[in-house]
A and B are shown apart, each in its own frame.
Chain A
């Protein structure tokens, strides 16, 4: 271990602001990117499923109507 204390580690030899400013921004962005992706994916899946469901019920209704006509 290179450091003698936590304070020394955080101070980074008076360069703490620069070092931790880099670390924090990089960490935040690299956590945010997969989270945004997962959220976007969830929204897309919901939209597509809704769309497919609507199309299926539309098709069922159309079939019912045509069956009704042919028996009448």
Chain B
């Protein structure tokens, strides 16, 4: 038991995590492709027409996964940033930095697909209501995190400053999530929640969940790829990176 605990801690060092991440990346790409193809096939080829929204509702298979991931990645990013701040673990800060651009990507996609869905259904691309505005703030938080880290030369200080921003910004996540309950909004309520049965056809639900899983696996694959590059960049003065790169010649 103790041996196993030690083994886990071993991977907190970039040197040990680098090859492990490299081995995991292809598996997550394979899972992302598998879930993505399955989800999109169900969503775009098999799922029935929506009674109210016709075929336009199919944007849900992109919009909901993008929105979920934009919020979930922020929580994971803030978690790693917090761990890094509390325990001063190098790898945690690198993980947070690796997640931010992908989170920003999904926040943007959530807004983009939302606008394209809003136009035919609500008659407008955008309204300044609680759900949409708080999601826009999420995108700004991601951009702020990236910009703040880029503005500080010393990576350890950049990690700390970014971590504080990320942790303060966490307050926005429950605001996004509950905004459709707390305020009157054009945005529809949650189709899927933890507390009650989903209010949609099984086929639609499965398509959506599989697409979300696909996006999730994509995010893991991308974050692992990015963290490996960040590791090499930040640890370039260490022996292990030097040995790794000169061995390959």
Contact = CB atoms under 8 A, between A and B. Distances in A.
Contacts of A22: 59, 62-63, 112-113, 116-117
A5 to B, nearest CB: 13
Interface in A1-47: 1-3, 9, 12-15, 18-19, 21-23, 25-26, 29-30, 33-34, 37-38, 40-41, 44-45
Contacts, number: 89
Interface of A: 1-3, 9, 12-15, 18-19, 21-23, 25-26, 29-30, 33-34, 37-38, 40-41, 44-45, 48-49, 51-52, 56
A51 B237 CA distance: 11
B157 interface: no
Nearest to A23: B62
B7 interface: no
Interface string B209-224: 0000000001001100
B229 A41 contact: yes
A21 to B, nearest CB: 5
Contacts of B233: 44
Nearest to B119: A18
Interface in B195-249: 218, 221-222, 225-226, 228-229, 232-233, 236, 241-242, 245-246, 249
B59 A19 contact: yes
B131 interface: no
A13 B55 contact: yes
19 contacts: A12-B55, A12-B58, A14-B54, A14-B55, A15-B54, A15-B120, A18-B116, A19-B56, A22-B62, A22-B112, A22-B116, A25-B113, A26-B62, A26-B112, A34-B225, A38-B225, A40-B229, A44-B229, A52-B242
Interface string B29-65: 0000000000000001111110000111011001100
B100 to A, nearest CB: 12
B232 A19 contact: no
A37 B112 CA distance: 23
B105 interface: yes
B139 to A, nearest CB: 13
